[in-house]
Amino acid sequence: MRKGCGVLIAIASIVLLMFFCSFGSALFGGVFFEFMWFAPGDNRNFDPIANFDAVYDRVGRHNQFVSMEARFVRMDGTLDLWATYDPKVYYQFTRTTLPVNAKPIGAGGNAEGVQYNTTRIILDSKNDGFHLINFIMDADYWVMTQPVDTPVSPPTCPLRDLWAVALAAGAPELAVATIDYDADGYDFEIRDTDFRFRFGMDCGLIE
């Protein structure tokens, strides 16, 4: 009797395993990877410029890029996303759509009947000193009825080149910088210091 039960349990286990490997993995695996994306590149030496195309491909090229924020960038142009001081990289994209249920004028809509769909990608390690999740990048989504962002060409200036200007001005080598990029160019800042610089799209120093 026990032998018969053991055989039935083994058969049932095999059937369940086959189900999960076929239908189950497609369902649950698809849901998992829809909301938890593996981050590209080396998380201990993450280069926001070198890995931009990989992020853009994952978001979809039908979206337009509008801005990037990288905190806290080391002098070699990379971030240690595992660090406990909470380095992050944000990439923001937008897309214009014509929804069938667009809000009318007077209820928050616009004359064109369009809406602006924003996607923000966040890369960080969620490292609190005890727990570490460093393999994913998260996405936030929201919808606006008025444009708030100006599309811009992808960032191309190596961040180490921006850092070189700061080092020449006397910035400490062990500091980390917050670097923003949008339609106005690059803003470079080492917080809690006076080291702040602005760079144009051509990577040239403005002020």
**72 upstream amide cis, omega within 30 of 0:** yes
CA separation, residue 33 to residues 29, 41, 110 (Å): 6, 17, 35
C-beta of residue 117 within 8 angstroms of C-beta of residue 97: yes
C-beta of residue 75 within 8 angstroms of C-beta of residue 167: yes
User: Domain-by-domain residue ranges, the chain?
Assistant: 2-35, 42-199
Whether pLDDT at 72 is above 70: yes
Give the residue carrying structure tokens 């799209």. Answer: 201
Whether pLDDT at 186 is above 80: yes
**Model confidence band, residue 149 (pLDDT cutoffs 50, 70, 90):** confident
d(CA 100, CA 103): 9
* Comparison of pLDDT for 28 and 170, the residue scoring more: 170
Tokens representing 154 are 């992808």
Question: Which segment, 34-38, 61-65, 109-113, 138-142, is predicted with the most confidence on average?
Answer: 61-65
- Could you tell me the end-to-end alpha-carbon distance of the chain, in angstroms, rounded to an integer? 85
Sign of the alpha-carbon torsion through 59, 65, 66, 69? positive
Indicate the helix (H) or strand (E) that contains 13: helix 2-19
| Residue 31 confidence (pLDDT) | 35
78-109 pLDDT, tens digit each: 999 888 888 999 999 998 776 656 666 666 55
Sign of the alpha-carbon torsion through 53, 58, 63, 69? negative
The CA radius of gyration of the chain, in Å to the nearest whole number, is: 23
| Residue 115 confidence (pLDDT) | 77
pTM: 0.73
| Residue 20 confidence (pLDDT) | 39
Mean pLDDT of 57-82: 94
Please give the full DSSP string across 32-96, using - where no structure is assigned. HHHH-EEPPS-GGGB-TTTTHHHHHHHH-TTSEEEEEEEEEE-TTS-B-TT-TT--EEEEEEEEE
C-beta of residue 154 within 8 angstroms of C-beta of residue 68: no
d(CA 145, CA 159): 34
31-57 pLDDT, tens digit each: 333 445 677 888 899 999 999 999 999
